[in-house]
Amino acid sequence: MRAALAGLALALSVLPARAEDELCARKISVVGRAQSVRAPDFAEISVGVETKAPGAAAALDAASKAVEGIVALGREIGVPAGDIGTSAVVLEAATRAVTRPNGTTSSEPDGYRAANAVTVRLADMGRLGDFLRRALEAGANRIDAIGFGLNDPDKVEAELQVAATRDARTRAAELAEAIGAKLGPLCALSTGGGPQPLRMAAPMAAKAAPGRRVPITAGTIGSSAEVSASFAVLP
C-alpha cells in the first residue's frame, strides 16, 4: 500500500513538469526593451593637491594641509561628513633628466612628489561650479574626475525591467496574432541591462580664472533594461 501511494505521489509530482514541457513545445521567444533618460541626483568630484619638496615629509605635509582646506570647504557648504572621503594618497621619489657633457641623458633624484585627493558627493549640483572654484582657491591643483549618478539606481532598474517585460509580452502577442494563433502563458523569462549609476567626465586640468565659477553641465543619465521571454503558442 505504501509503495502504491509513493508511486502515485511521484506520478503527481511529475505531471506538472510534463504538462509544462508539452505546453511550451510550441513557443515564441522575444526580447523586450525599455529605456529612460533622467537628470542625475548628485555629483561626485575627486579633487586634490599635488606637491613637490626636497623631503618626503615636507611634500606630504604640504599636500595634506591643502586637502584639509578642501575638506573644510565641503563642510562649510553643508556636505555631510559621510559624503567626504579620501580617495588617494601618493608619495613617491621624484627624478629629473640630466644631460651629460658627452650627450648622454640620465635620471637623478629630485626630491619627492606627494598627492592627496578627496572625493566629495554633492546633492546640490547647483553649487558644483562654485565648489570647484573655491577648491582651487583653497589650494587644489588636480581635478581627477567628475561623475553624476542616481540616488536609487535599483528602483530605476526595477521599473525598467517591468516596462521591458510588458514590451516583451506586447511583441509576442503581435507575433502570435500574425500567425493566427493565441498567446499562451509564460514559459521562461530572464533579465539584463540596467541603469548606469555614474556618468563620469574625463579628468581635467585645474585651471580657472580667480573668482570665476567653473562651468559644469550635468546633462542626463540614460538607463535601460532588457528581458528575454518565451511564451507558449496556443492553437
Q: Using one digit for the tens of pLDDT, what is the confidence trace for 4-48? A: 434 433 333 333 555 567 789 899 999 999 999 999 999 999 999
Answer whether residue 195 is part of any domain. yes
Average pLDDT score over residue span 131-158: 91
* 78 and 124 inside one domain: yes
Q: Are 114 and 60 in contact (CB under 8 A)?
A: yes
Asked if residue 161 and residue 144 are part of one domain, the reply reads no
Average pLDDT on 192-212 reads: 50
Residue 122 sits in the same domain as residue 145? yes
Residues 234, 187 share a domain: yes
CATH number of the domain encompassing residue 46: 3.30.70.2970
**Whole-number average pLDDT of the chain:** 84
Cβ burial of 146 (10 Å; 0-12, 13-18, 19+) is: buried
Q: pTM of the entire structure?
A: 0.70
Range of the domain at 128: 42-97+106-149
- Identify whether residues 53 and 134 lie together within a single domain: yes
**12, 95 Cβ separation under 8 angstroms:** no
**213 is a domain residue:** no
pLDDT for position 4:
42
Question: Could you tell me if residue 194 is left (phi over 0), alpha (psi between -120 and 50 degrees) or otherwise beta?
Answer: left
Does one domain contain both 53 and 131? yes
Residue 107: per-residue pLDDT:
85
Contacts of 210 (CB under 8 A, 6+ apart): 137
CATH code of the domain covering residue 31: 3.30.110.170
pLDDT of residue 165: 96
Whether 60 is in a domain gets the answer yes
Q: Indicate if 160 and 117 belong to the same structural domain.
A: no
In this model, does residue 134 exceed pLDDT 70? yes
Using CA atoms of 5, 11, 15, 21 in order, give the dihedral in degrees to the nearest 10.
160
Co-location of 125 and 158 in the same domain: no
Do 34 and 51 sit in the same domain of this protein? no
Q: Are residues 119 and 190 in the same domain?
A: no
In a domain, 215, yes or no: no
pLDDT at 194: 55
In a domain? residue 13:
no
Residue 20 inside a domain? The answer is no
Q: 125 with 194, same domain? A: no
**Better-predicted residue by pLDDT, 208 or 54:** 54
Give the DSSP per-residue string, the chain: -HHHHHHHHHHHHHHHHHHHHHHTTSEEEEEEEEEEEE--SEEEEEEEEEEEESSHHHHHHHHHHHHHHHHHHHHHTT--GGGEEEEEEEEEEEEEEEE-TTS-EEEEEEEEEEEEEEEEEES-GGGHHHHHHHHHHTT--EEEEEEEE-S-HHHHHHHHHHHHHHHHHHHHHHHHHHTT-EEEEEEEEEEEEEE-SEEEEPPEE----TTPPPP-----EEEEEEEEEEEEEE-
Contact between 205 and 148 (Cβ < 8 Å): no
pLDDT tens for each residue of 88-110: 999 999 998 888 888 788 888 99
pLDDT of residue 117: 95
User: Is position 120 within any domain?
Assistant: yes
**What pLDDT is stored for residue 1 in this prediction?**
45
144 and 172, same domain (yes or no)? no
Q: How many structural domains comprise the chain? A: 2
How confident is the model at residue 5, as a pLDDT?
A: 36
Q: Kindly state whether residue 1 falls inside one of the protein's structural domains.
A: no
Here the cell at position 96 is 629629473
* Rounded Cα distance, 143 and 76, in Å: 20
